[in-house]
């Protein structure tokens, strides 16, 4: 069966105009990875769901789920006849079976075998951050007037890990824009507010405003106060990297804002270096932080107020936090 699509992303956008640009880009990323796996310029390989499942079977659950979501959205956009309907049913069944299996594993509260390979203790993350801090001191980066690309990357990943340890969001700092004062935020257009995330720097305080995140449709605009110790680190990073109001906070060596995927890659590359090969992604950081604060036997495990605060910062419900993110390692 020929899967006819000259410009898949345009067709998805046309069929589902409510989808966010970032969501469509993520679908495109997953579909392009599939094309590479099949060494194909088109989507004809989607005609064989079993072969697709075999190709991606060793990938993490979230990667497989997101790949199936992308396939289903594409096929729905291209839905020309009943052949597409039958193909959609097959992929929908595979995805549902995958989700059911995942839900059972999550509800058990036990960490999976694949997660166990990369699961680090909260104290290990703290120790890794301390090593980075020691390197920053040894290199004299806080006093240096000119920083190399590697210097800036060290400061950036040190800042991001400190951020996630205290405020375990998803990769919502991707494209986050620095603004000096609430007036600067209020002067933005409604479209700019809805499509970007911001770090607001005022005299004596700092906070994040999040409009673009996974569960924004459910929770709306989210404001998160920055703790004083993290504010100090962020101010150091802003000062040393020369960031000004209106600049994207975290950027590559070319000056472009880091994408969500680039932040994940940076974190995993860094953790492998410091944690004996463990690949700690943003999602894993969320599990580590939630498990540390609210896992079985912790002093906050039954404190509703604390659970609600962390769930708010993470952008999900307390129920999701307890079911998906709090893990026990056997």
Write out pLDDT tens, residues 135-182: 999 999 998 989 999 999 999 999 999 999 998 787 888 889 999 998
Residues 148 and 57 in one domain: no
17: pLDDT strictly greater than 90: no
Same domain, 86 and 128: no
Nearest 5°: the CA angle 60, 279, 162 is 120
pLDDT at 1: 55
Q: Same domain for 127 and 13? A: no
What whole-number percentage of the chain has pLDDT above 70? Answer: 82
Judge if 242 and 128 occupy the same domain. yes
Question: 244 and 128 share a domain?
Answer: yes
79 and 222 share one domain:
no
Whether 1 maps to a domain, the answer reads no
Extract the tokens encoding 144: 């240096």
151 and 269 belong to one structural domain: yes
pLDDT at 315 over 60: no
Looking at the predicted structure, is the pLDDT value of residue 298 above 90?
no
Which residue did the predictor score with more confidence, 36 or 15?
36
Task: Identify the band that residue 240 occupies on the pLDDT scale cut at 50, 70 and 90.
Answer: very high
How many domains would you assign to the chain? 2
Q: Once rounded to an integer, what is the mean pLDDT over residues 50-58?
A: 92
Query: Is the predicted pLDDT of residue 317 greater than 60, yes or no?
Result: no
Average pLDDT (29-58) is: 92
Same domain flag for 145 and 80 = no
pLDDT confidence band for 285 (50 / 70 / 90): confident
Q: Are residues 23 and 138 in the same domain?
A: no
Alpha-helical runs (H) found in the chain: 8-15, 21-37, 49-56, 61-77, 82-107, 113-118, 122-138, 149-166, 182-186, 190-195, 216-219, 228-241, 260-274, 282-294, 304-314, 318-320
Alpha carbon distance 25, 31 (integer Å): 10
Are 196 and 280 found together in one domain? Answer: yes
Domain end residue (candidates: 50, 81, 107):
107
- More confident of the two residues 320 and 76: 76
Last residue of a domain, one of 49, 73, 107: 107
Last residue of a domain, one of 107, 129, 158: 107
pLDDT band at 132 (very low <50, low <70, confident <90, very high): very high
Average pLDDT in the chain: 83
**Bigger pLDDT: 20 or 188?**
188
Same domain, 136 and 269: yes
CA dihedral (269, 275, 277, 280) in degrees, to 10, reads -50
Residue-level pLDDT at 309: 56
d(CA 232, CA 105): 39
Position 320 scores a pLDDT of 53
Domain that holds residue 24: 8-107
pLDDT at 96 over 70: yes
Residues 6 or more apart in contact with residue 179 via CB below 8 angstroms? 185, 198, 199, 200, 201, 245, 246
- Reply yes or no on whether the pLDDT at 237 is more than 90: yes
Q: Are 42 and 171 part of one and the same domain?
A: no
Query: Can you tell me the distance from the alpha carbon of 168 to that of 290, in angstroms, rounded to the nearest whole number?
Result: 8
Residue 2 lies in a domain: no
């Amino acid at each position: 069966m020929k899967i006819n699509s000259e410009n898949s992303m345009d067709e998805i956008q046309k069929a589902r105009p409510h989808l966010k640009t970032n969501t469509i880009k993520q679908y495109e990323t997953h579909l392009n990875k599939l094309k590479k796996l099949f060494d194909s310029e088109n989507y004809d390989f989607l005609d064989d769901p079993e072969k697709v499942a075999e190709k991606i079977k060793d990938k993490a659950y979230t990667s497989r789920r997101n790949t199936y979501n992308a396939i289903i959205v594409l096929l729905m956009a291209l839905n020309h006849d009943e052949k597409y309907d039958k193909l959609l049913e097959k992929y929908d069944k595979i995805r549902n079976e995958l989700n059911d299996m995942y839900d059972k594993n999550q509800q058990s509260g036990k960490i999976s075998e694949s997660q166990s390979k990369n699961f680090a203790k909260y104290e290990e993350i703290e120790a890794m951050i301390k090593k980075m801090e020691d390197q920053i001191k040894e290199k004299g980066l806080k006093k240096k007037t000119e920083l190399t690309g590697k210097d800036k990357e060290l400061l950036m990943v040190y800042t991001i890990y400190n951020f996630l340890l205290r405020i375990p969001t998803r990769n919502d700092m991707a494209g986050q824009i620095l603004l000096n004062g609430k007036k600067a935020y209020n002067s933005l257009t409604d479209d700019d507010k809805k499509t970007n995330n911001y770090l607001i720097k005022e005299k004596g305080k700092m906070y994040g405003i999040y409009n673009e995140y996974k569960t924004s449709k459910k929770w709306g605009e989210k404001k998160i106060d920055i703790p004083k110790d993290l504010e100090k680190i962020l101010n150091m990073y802003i000062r040393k990297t020369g960031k000004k109001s209106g600049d994207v906070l975290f950027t590559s060596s070319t000056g472009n804002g880091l994408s969500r995927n680039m932040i994940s890659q940076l974190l995993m590359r860094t953790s492998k270096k410091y944690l004996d090969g463990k690949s700690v992604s943003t999602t894993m950081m969320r599990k580590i932080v939630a498990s540390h604060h609210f896992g079985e036997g912790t002093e906050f495990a039954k404190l509703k107020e604390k659970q609600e605060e962390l769930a708010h910062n993470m952008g999900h419900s307390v129920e999701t936090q307890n079911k998906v993110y709090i893990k026990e390692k056997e």
